[in-house]
Structure 1
Amino acid sequence: MSQSRNTIGLGGQILFILCAVLIIDTLTAAAALGPSVIGWWGLTLLAFVVPYALIATELGTAYPADGGLYDWVKRAFGDKMAARTSWLYWINVGLWMPAVYILFAGMASELFDLELSLAAQVGLCILLTWLTVWFCNVAVDIGVGISKVGALLKMVVILALGIAGFLYAKEHGMANELTWQSMLPSFEGGVGFLPAIIYNLLGLELVACLGRDLKDPVRSMPKAMLLASLAIALLYVFGTLGILAALPVDQVGLVAGLTDALKILFAALPYGQFWVMGLGILGLLTLISNMVSWTMGSSRAAAESAQAGELPALLGYRHRRLGTPVGANCLTGLVSTAVILCYGLLASSNDELFWTVFAFSSTVFLLPYLLMFAAFLRLRLKDARHPRPFPLPASRPLAWLLTGCSLSFILGALLLFIFPQLAEGIIDWQESGPLLLGLGLTLLLGEALIHRRLGRTAQPELARHTAG
């Protein structure tokens, strides 16, 4: 049965946000920055997450709707820009899902000492993709339940990493030297992985896509976003320290790094193999729960846009009894399947395949946030009299400053995803060219679909006006 309206309370919202934002698939990418990642976490949390959470809270409580970010952009900039937003917000999940399940295949192979061929890993990724689609199609309460369990499992894995890391350091010393100097933000080392920090902190607004299913959203959503933000910040720093305690920076692998860290941290403990296996399996399950959360939110936004006549009608198809966005969910699965088959033919290693797909999907993922922050300012000017139950506590100049900070972080992450060696003054077109080509094709396909769809819906309107 489908979940009835207004039944997701504060606890459920916090767990949903934690499941969406708290991800372990790029925790090792952040740790690859070395000890300076701690300073980067602190700077990012203060200058980006705080204004981002306040902006998302104001928008989510002032304009609650299933479309979330899509609905805010639509109110601010109209149908076309809203359609572009929902297209990017939706398509990125299909592009990102392969990276997550590539990581799943690599972690499973390392954890169970399997020698999976590339073809076997691609097959496993496709199987997990359609399992995710099935979970999202069954019912809202199933998806939310998986998100809640996933959030708890993520907290268990990250807390275990942090605690074991400190115990390991006490016994064997830190694998990386942690001093006040080394923990300051720095552009040395693996700066190409810096945008992974921004990426790891996005998704607070996703809970707004469940607008009509939230219990008293005006009161509960602000608390959920702020409490979840605090918990996420502490957990990320704690988990990163655990990885850095066990692995020297030059040994942190993007795919097997988490499993390697677990093996080192728990090897000497009683029942060490049991702990490694148990936490590794929990880590694998969190990857599935993460994709369920994101597919649920992005598909709802796409379905609302399609039902408004802005995206292809198939994206708007919902299950007659359950109301789940079956069309958008299944198309997400098809996109994911196509991407994993395509990139599986091109990559020579797991790490390369993971980062290539991840960087490509992330550039698409970040673009809607530029529009979201711009929509916040636009609605402040355009719709100033609209009731705002939880307004950002700032004057107009300060609101502009906070929004500018958020936009700067998003733009910086975009540039480093596309040009990872930009801080060193190097642009490798062999690496960046295919990514830019993929981004351009994604944008062009979206424009073609939106133009065709809006053109069709405009014709009946024009005929009615002409007849009148």
Structure 2
Amino acid sequence: MSEFDEKKKFRLIDAILAVICVVFVAEAAAPVAAIGNSQYFWWIFLMITFLLPYGLISSELGTTYNSEGGLYDWIKKAFGAKWGARASWYYWINFPLWMASLAVMFPEIIGMILGQQLGVVQSIVIELIFIWIIVLISFFPVCDSVWILDGAAIIKVFLALVVGGFGIYGAITNGVANEYTLSSLLPSFDLNSLSFISVILFNFLGFEVICTFADSMNNPKKQIPQSIIVGGIVIAAIYIFSAFGIGVAIPTAEVSTSSGMIDSLQLLTGKTTGIFISIMAILFLLTLFGNMISWSLGVNNVAKYAASNGDMPAVFGRTSKKNGMPTGAAIMNGIVATLIVILSPMLPNQDLFWSFFALNLVMFLLAYLPIFPAFLKLREIDSEVERPFKVGGSKTFLKVLAMVPMALIIIALIFLAIPLSFDAETLGATLPITIGSIVCIIIGEIIIKIKKVGQKN
């Protein structure tokens, strides 16, 4: 190995920071805060019932099947090419939807910094710049962007500490915006709150992305489980701390799903503008770049890998002749996200961030749904394969370990994408997500049909 290649390798601290950068999503803290005080119950409950089993399972699969295909490879090995193709499609399509949701947030935050609301044309231009900067950066290997991942992770932790710290100060000096009583801390089962619980699951997903960086690590079999365990503990702590800060500052009913973190700092400091608020807003925007860059490296590799196996359209398999990066998938990300933000001013729903983010959530959760039964299936059909990290326990324990998080994803999808009442407000908020999800699923099935996926198996 050359000296250059050796310098390019991930260290354990890089792997841990990459996990934090990938999994900790600063913009998701506000939608969770919209649950209210019962969010603390859901954080603890889902850490035990979802984060722990998912972290163990992804550690085993990621170290056993060490390839850039990630979850696509695991699901395909367990259930065949059609399910692998579905997972790779859901996994990919969520990304441009997520990119679009962050893009429409950008002008709002910039307008907050400038103290004025931006026009439609100005907003679209800013959104497109954000999208295509991400696309261009994703043309280069992860090690070239390691400083971005490390920097974004540090900024995210700093923002969470600032919001949480001001929350504690505000609670001591001015009291809290949401009264803390035993009943308020108990789980809330109203439809609005339950729809946001899917965001907590989203906040816990992404550990397997670190597995796609295996080629850039010195010792992936050791670094992957270590980074997942340490990163998971840190992430859970900073999520709860930042959520507390938002909950102290803003009444639950008034939490903005897009700018809640910055809104909370404004209320806690008593300043709507100024150097401090501007700096915090700029740092928040930088974390959005970190999110997209870290995820693009994993998502694009999975799409390229699936395309090279004939399970995604050929365009996703195009790579750079210079460095082998999946430029085809990156460009498709940019094209789809561009179309969404250009058409977004024509949409009736004004909470565009939540509309796109919720649709991204549905597709994202669908991609992860088969991982848990795939874990059980691979234990049966690949029992002789060496597992550097192996989850211990009886067959019954392993079934419970896999089925509980799978059931939680199904429940989250129901509350997120299916209208459970037929009043105008619920239909207006949920029906576009339902229709968008159905459209995305149908497109995926058309691709499978055209590609004739599975016929070769």
Q: If the length of structure 1 is used for normalisation, what is the TM-score?
A: 0.91
Map 1:38-117 → 2, pairs under 5 A? 38-117=40-119
In the other structure, the counterpart of 2:396 is 397
Sequence identity, in percent?
32
1:14 aligned to 2:12? Answer: no
The one-letter code sitting in structure 1 at the alignment partner of 2:443 is L
The one-letter code sitting in structure 1 at the alignment partner of 2:229 is L
The DSSP-based 3-state class of the residue aligned with 1:137 is coil
The DSSP-based 3-state class of the residue aligned with 1:387 is coil
The one-letter code sitting in structure 2 at the alignment partner of 1:372 is I
The DSSP-based 3-state class of the residue aligned with 1:287 is helix
In the other structure, the counterpart of 1:379 is 378
In the other structure, the counterpart of 2:294 is 293
The one-letter code sitting in structure 2 at the alignment partner of 1:77 is F
Gaps of 5+ in 1: 462-468
In the other structure, the counterpart of 1:311 is 312
The alpha-carbon deviation at position 284 of structure 1 amounts to 0.8
User: 424, 428, 450: which one pairs with 1:452?
Assistant: 450
Quick one: distance in 2 between partners of 1:127 and 1:335?
14
Quick one: distance in 1 between partners of 2:57 and 2:453?
33
The alpha-carbon deviation at position 122 of structure 1 amounts to 2.5
1:218 aligned to 2:200? Answer: no
The one-letter code sitting in structure 2 at the alignment partner of 1:441 is V
Which deviates more, 98-107 or 359-368? 98-107
The alpha-carbon deviation at position 429 of structure 1 amounts to 4.3
1:83–1:154 Cα change, 3 Å = same
Quick one: distance in 2 between partners of 1:274 and 1:282?
12
In the other structure, the counterpart of 2:239 is 236
In the other structure, the counterpart of 1:153 is 155
Deviations 1:120-146 (A, max 9, x none): 223211211001001111333233332
Quick one: distance in 2 between partners of 1:246 and 1:327?
44
1:119–1:421 Cα change, 3 Å = farther
The one-letter code sitting in structure 2 at the alignment partner of 1:19 is C
1:456–1:196 Cα change, 3 Å = closer
Which deviates more, 128-137 or 142-151? 142-151
Which deviates more, 151-160 or 187-196? 187-196
The alpha-carbon deviation at position 339 of structure 1 amounts to 1.7
Deviations 1:389-421 (A, max 9, x none): 111122110110011111011111111111365
Alpha-carbon contact 1:317-1:326 (below 8 Å) kept: yes
In the other structure, the counterpart of 1:419 is 418
Which deviates more, 232-241 or 413-422? 413-422
Quick one: distance in 1 between partners of 2:407 and 2:104?
30
The alpha-carbon deviation at position 385 of structure 1 amounts to 1.3
The one-letter code sitting in structure 1 at the alignment partner of 2:224 is M
User: 186, 189, 193: which one pairs with 2:188?
Assistant: 186
Once superposed, what is the RMSD of the aligned Cα atoms? 2.5
The DSSP-based 3-state class of the residue aligned with 2:369 is helix
Deviations 1:194-221 (A, max 9, x none): 2211112111111112222222111111
The one-letter code sitting in structure 1 at the alignment partner of 2:369 is L
Quick one: distance in 1 between partners of 2:109 and 2:281?
8
Quick one: distance in 1 between partners of 2:156 and 2:346?
32
Quick one: distance in 2 between partners of 1:426 and 1:389?
53
The one-letter code sitting in structure 1 at the alignment partner of 2:222 is R
Alpha-carbon contact 1:16-1:293 (below 8 Å) kept: yes
The DSSP-based 3-state class of the residue aligned with 1:187 is coil
In the other structure, the counterpart of 1:131 is 133
User: 253, 257, 260: which one pairs with 1:254?
Assistant: 257
Alpha-carbon contact 2:312-2:451 (below 8 Å) kept: yes
Quick one: distance in 2 between partners of 1:211 and 1:29?
32
The one-letter code sitting in structure 1 at the alignment partner of 2:406 is L
Quick one: distance in 1 between partners of 2:55 and 2:33?
24
The DSSP-based 3-state class of the residue aligned with 2:183 is coil
The DSSP-based 3-state class of the residue aligned with 2:26 is coil
Gaps of 5+ in 2: none
The number of aligned residues is: 454
The DSSP-based 3-state class of the residue aligned with 2:180 is coil
